[in-house]
Amino acid sequence: MAVADWLAALDRRAALRAKAGLTRRLHPRAAGDDVVDLAGNDYLGLATHPEVVAAAARALSAYGLGATGSRLVRGSTDAHHALEDALAGWLGTDRALVFSSGYLANVGAVRALVRPRTLLVSDAHNHASLIDGCRVSGAETVVTPHADVTAVAAALAAAPGRPAVVVTESVFSVDGDLAPLARLHATAREHGALLLVDDAHALGVTGPAGAGAVAAAGLAGEPDVVLTATLSKALGGAGGVVAGPAEFVRHLVETARTFIYDTALPPAVAAGVHAAVGLARTRDDLRADLSRRAALAVRRLRAAGLDVSTPDAAVVSVTAPGPEAATGWAAACRDRAVAVGCFRPPSTPDSRSRLRLTISAGVSQAEFERALEVIVECAP
């Protein structure tokens, strides 16, 4: 194919996406803008906390801008190892391993859990990183209806004697609902399967001392449970973590391509996240405030006649009439200095488009209530 034909084909595909209301655009933000942020994932407001910024600044001065190599070459620093020890202690696992992103952590974890003949049983609402992990692994994958433990049990029962892994989020990223983790674990254990839980939207927000939904379900440290999370949400930084049995973490270090062949997380980020972990463990007051605000958002938006999810953490989903309506709604809010998430197919696991509100303790109560008014007034 000639270059001109290739570029023309890309233009045609872009036109089709635009016609379907699926165009995506970048919206750069300035430092310190006055937008009320209900789109980012800084749940506890730690991204700009003075202790977090100071810890990152000290490491930046000590180590420089980047890690300068992969973790197995020169990229492992004292900052990385201190963070991993802190995460393992908080999560109640043998060990934790830090990756440069939550996406790479999920892809690496799924792939590392696969053996010959492994069956992966994946929830229909799982995040793209888990879906891609299943695809990259090459293992047979059965996608079960959302949060349907009976369907998971049936999929496992249909593959007796095969190694299997049940793959789920804890708090799902689209609608903010909580997976039935205790029941999923009991079902997986009954069939000799492992349970992989992406705790990204629960870590820091739920559970004892904010240790997440896995800990809240009483599954912390169970030998047949592997936990993943991103460090870019409630901890306000970047990177990802896989936590579980020491034997599995050793296996990751020695075999996970998304760990071995990737430049390490910058030490300054690792140090900042380490400080954030220490703060997050002590802030039950912020977690209680997030819960109150989520309940307030549901009441206000439902009172306005909007279709709103029932949140189990700090994610509130509002159904939009369609993709174009969702993008127009989000743009109208942005014009009034309120940032909201806009989810459309294929980012949603069904045909519905949504606004997604992520509640942050870094937003004042007055700003939060004004943002809710703007969302209602801009509704299509």
DSSP notation for 141-198: EEEEPTT-HHHHHHHHHTSTTS-EEEEEESB-TTT-PBP-HHHHHHHHHHTT-EEEEE
Amino acid letter, 177: D
Q: Which is the catalytic residue, given 123, 201, 309, 367?
A: 201
Identify each DSSP E strand in 214-294 by its residue range. Answer: 225-230, 240-244
Write the burial class of residue 12 (CB in 10 Å: 0-12 exposed, 13-18 middle, 19+ buried).
Answer: exposed
Please tell me the distance from the alpha carbon of residue 8 to that of residue 202, in angstroms, as a whole number: 44
Q: Which is the catalytic residue, given 100, 106, 173, 232?
A: 173
173 is catalytic: yes
DSSP structural state of residue 86: H
106 is catalytic: no
169 is catalytic: yes
78 is catalytic: no
Q: Which is the catalytic residue, given 175, 233, 274, 324?
A: 233
Tallying the residues shown for the chain, one arrives at 380
Write the burial class of residue 162 (CB in 10 Å: 0-12 exposed, 13-18 middle, 19+ buried).
Answer: middle
Q: Which is the catalytic residue, given 37, 169, 312, 367?
A: 169
**173 phi and psi, to 5 degrees?**
-70, -20
Contact, 44 vs 314, CB < 8 A?
no
127 is catalytic: yes
126 is catalytic: no
Contact, 306 vs 326, CB < 8 A?
no
The dihedral formed by the CA atoms of 28, 296, 311 and 131, expressed in degrees to the nearest 10: -10
Q: Which is the catalytic residue, given 84, 175, 198, 312?
A: 198
251 is catalytic: no
Q: Which is the catalytic residue, given 49, 80, 125, 127?
A: 127
Please tell me the distance from the alpha carbon of residue 199 to that of residue 329, in angstroms, as a whole number: 29
Q: Which is the catalytic residue, given 41, 122, 126, 232?
A: 41
Which residues are known catalytic residues? 41, 127, 169, 173, 198, 201, 233
